[in-house]
Amino acid sequence: MPDRRRSSPSAVAGRVAAVFPTPGRVPGEHRLPGPLEQRAYLIGGRVRAWEGPLREVYSPLRLRSGSSLRRVRLGAYPALSAKESRAALAAARRAYDDGRGTWPTLPVGERIRHVEAFTAAMVARRGEVVRLLMWEVGKSLADATKEFDRTVEYIRGTIDALKDLDRVSSRLVIEQGVFAQIRRAPLGVALCMGPFNYPLNETFTTLVPALIMGNTVVFKPPKLGVLLWQPLLESFRDCFPRGVVNTVYGDGATVVGPLMESGGVDVLAFIGTSRVADILKHQHPEPHRLRSVLGLDAKNPAIVLPDADLGNAVGECLLGALSFNGQRCTALKILFVHRAVADEFVSRLAAAVDALPVGMPWDPGVWITPMAEEAKPAYLRELVDDAVSRGAAVRNAAGGTVLETYFHPAVLYPVAGGMRVWDEEQFGPVIPVVPFAEVSEPLDYVRNSPFGQQISLFGSDAAGMARLIDPLVNQVCRVNLNSQCQRGPDAFPFTGRKDSAEGTLSISDALRVFSIRTLVAAKGSEANKELLSAILQERRSAFLSTDFIL
């Protein structure tokens, strides 16, 4: 947590003005060796070199040169056309081969060995990936490292969960004289697309369960956070059979539209906006065949009751609203605070924001860094101006200051319906605080909201909290008590209602969403028993097998 001593407004303004360093102030170990001109893409087990047009990548981090700020070019990546995209899908379909391919028919233990080999190769590239996360999306060193390590843990957790699942399925069941072996089988070709805020982690949380369950995959990196996949491309090629993992790069409409329109995608795993998810789903010619796993929009509220421990509530709301600059789907995006404590809450929150270290991702203890999306600061400024024009005030020093890609967090109070920030998902460091007199006011907000991911409740009276918990669990999918909203721990189910999600992801749930239950059954005649015994004892089938993974 940051040092909570309030900084003077001029000290805050000074820190904001000096947020971008000169090149000489970038520590040697965090400098990039030079622009990464990526021409490589992976299709059908071959890393190919793209000769066509490239998309330029610039960092959200600026470097100071005299009185001006310079953009930093990080490199470029292939702007593939629909032709390559179709080739990627064709390679994935060939590798799946209508469920007859090597990968979907491989015994689970062997699929696990491929994923383990990939994990080891990935860990060897940790430093490069973390550095690119900092430069490409502006994530702090601590958070970028956490994202990488959490992803590796997620993969290892997935392997353990699959072993458990397989052990439970490694036996025959007998019901009403019918023998059966019930397992989970793959669905086909999965298209996996993660978001720019967790480009590595949230892509892998669908990619890995999809793969390990025997599906083949086409994946497209998000619009930001593309170059960081380059160090992993050869590992994908070396660790999986040909065509099991394929990549597409470039403009979404150009490379993703044709995939969906072809009808060749069986599972759509997408983390992004509900608007784009709707477009993609509607492009599929036979939508009933498409399984979707979607993580979408959210505007998670907090409700601070008069009996809440205000110190804890401020700390958790700060974390919830400003971790990675508020660029999290799970971020707290609107705070309802009871009138009896609202002034005190806002004053403590503003002081805490004033004390936050701002700067570059590698600065020790940094909280607020430049925004990943170039156009975001201007959008956030519009939200602040709109709220101020309708009666709110910015309550912290330098709140809403824009310096190129840097946007200084703004605590807005009092916020009310009719302001844009009441409805719009800001996905950035704007903290709207709404005073309320009756708890029915925030409850009505939740009921009328198009979103239904999570909520945070702050209070200490057991009866009062319980009265809120019971209706809220039917409106959102996680009620956090005296704690910020968050996805983790990854063993917990992560999902949402209404416009917020489709399907549930957790380490074990993800194995289920990328597979379907299928069984081999036989009436228990003597002849069938002999047949089953022969197949099992002679180990003739990967599916019909009582082998137990140790």
Q: Which is nearer to ligand G3H, 78 or 222 (CB)?
A: 222
As a whole number of angstroms, the distance between CA 211 and CA 52 comes to: 30
Tokens 């793959």 belong to which residue?
Answer: 186
As a whole number of angstroms, the distance between CA 480 and CA 464 comes to: 15
CB of 14 to ligand G3H, least distance (A): 30
Segments of 444-511 assigned E as strands: 451-452, 455-458, 479-481, 497-498, 501-502
Q: Which is nearer to ligand G3H, 104 or 295 (CB)?
A: 295
Stretch near ligand G3H under the rule CB under 6 A, chosen from 109-117, 196-204, 226-234, 511-519 = 196-204
Q: Which is nearer to ligand G3H, 303 or 329 (CB)?
A: 329
Residues 115-154 contacting ligand G3H, CB under 6 A:
none
As a whole number of angstroms, the distance between CA 365 and CA 140 comes to: 9
Tell whether residue 328 is a contact of ligand G3H (CB under 6 A).
yes
Whose CA is closest to 37, among 227, 207, 176? 227
Stretch near ligand G3H under the rule CB under 6 A, chosen from 36-44, 158-166, 322-330, 466-474 = 322-330
Cβ atoms within 10 Å, residue 377: 23
* x-marked contacts with ligand G3H along 253-272 as a string, rule CB under 6 A: --------------------
Name the β-bridge partners of 183.
518
CB of 271 to ligand G3H, least distance (A): 7
Name the β-bridge partners of 269.
192, 293
Q: Which is nearer to ligand G3H, 358 or 485 (CB)?
A: 485
As a whole number of angstroms, the distance between CA 99 and CA 109 comes to: 18
Stretch near ligand G3H under the rule CB under 6 A, chosen from 93-101, 250-258, 275-283, 482-490 = 482-490
Q: Which is nearer to ligand G3H, 38 or 205 (CB)?
A: 205
As a whole number of angstroms, the distance between CA 289 and CA 252 comes to: 22
Q: Which is nearer to ligand G3H, 153 or 438 (CB)?
A: 153
Tell which one of 74, 226, 321, 329 touches ligand G3H (CB under 6 A). 329
The pairing of beta strand 73-78 with beta strand 300-304: unpaired
What one-letter code names the amino acid at 385? D
Q: Which is nearer to ligand G3H, 205 or 215 (CB)?
A: 205
Stretch near ligand G3H under the rule CB under 6 A, chosen from 185-193, 197-205, 334-342, 530-538 = 197-205
CB of 490 to ligand G3H, least distance (A): 8
Tell whether residue 524 is a contact of ligand G3H (CB under 6 A).
no
As a whole number of angstroms, the distance between CA 57 and CA 223 comes to: 10
Residues 13-32 contacting ligand G3H, CB under 6 A:
none
Q: Which is nearer to ligand G3H, 150 or 408 (CB)?
A: 150
Tell whether residue 486 is a contact of ligand G3H (CB under 6 A).
yes
Residues 487-506 contacting ligand G3H, CB under 6 A:
487-488
As a whole number of angstroms, the distance between CA 316 and CA 313 comes to: 5
# of chain residues touching ligand G3H (CB under 6 A)? 9
Tell which one of 169, 235, 300, 330 touches ligand G3H (CB under 6 A). 330
Q: Which is nearer to ligand G3H, 329 or 476 (CB)?
A: 329
CB of 104 to ligand G3H, least distance (A): 29
Residue 135, SS3?
helix
Residue 431, SS3?
strand
Whose CA is closest to 138, among 209, 51, 219, 199? 199
The pairing of beta strand 332-338 with beta strand 300-304: parallel
3-state secondary structure string, 56-93? EEECCCCEEECCEEECCEEEEEECCCHHHHHHHHHHHH
As a whole number of angstroms, the distance between CA 101 and CA 208 comes to: 18
Residue 477 near residue 505, CB atoms below 8 Å: no
Tokens 């702007």 belong to which residue?
Answer: 79
CB of 430 to ligand G3H, least distance (A): 17
CB of 328 to ligand G3H, least distance (A): 4
Stretch near ligand G3H under the rule CB under 6 A, chosen from 23-31, 73-81, 340-348, 481-489 = 481-489
Q: Which is nearer to ligand G3H, 197 or 515 (CB)?
A: 197
Tell whether residue 376 is a contact of ligand G3H (CB under 6 A).
no
As a whole number of angstroms, the distance between CA 284 and CA 83 comes to: 18
Stretch near ligand G3H under the rule CB under 6 A, chosen from 62-70, 195-203, 351-359, 516-524 = 195-203
Stretch near ligand G3H under the rule CB under 6 A, chosen from 5-13, 77-85, 413-421, 483-491 = 483-491
Reported as half-sphere exposure (CB side, CA atoms, 13 A), residue 368 has a value of: 32
Tell which one of 38, 197, 500, 506 touches ligand G3H (CB under 6 A). 197
Instruction: Tell me whether residue 292 is exposed, middle or buried, using C-beta atoms within 10 angstroms of its C-beta: 0 to 12, 13 to 18, 19 or more.
Output: middle
Whose CA is closest to 220, among 256, 187, 189? 256
CB of 198 to ligand G3H, least distance (A): 5
Tell whether residue 198 is a contact of ligand G3H (CB under 6 A).
yes
CB of 205 to ligand G3H, least distance (A): 8
Residues of the shown chain interacting with ligand G3H in the complex, contacts defined by CB under 6 A: 197-198, 202, 328-330, 486-488
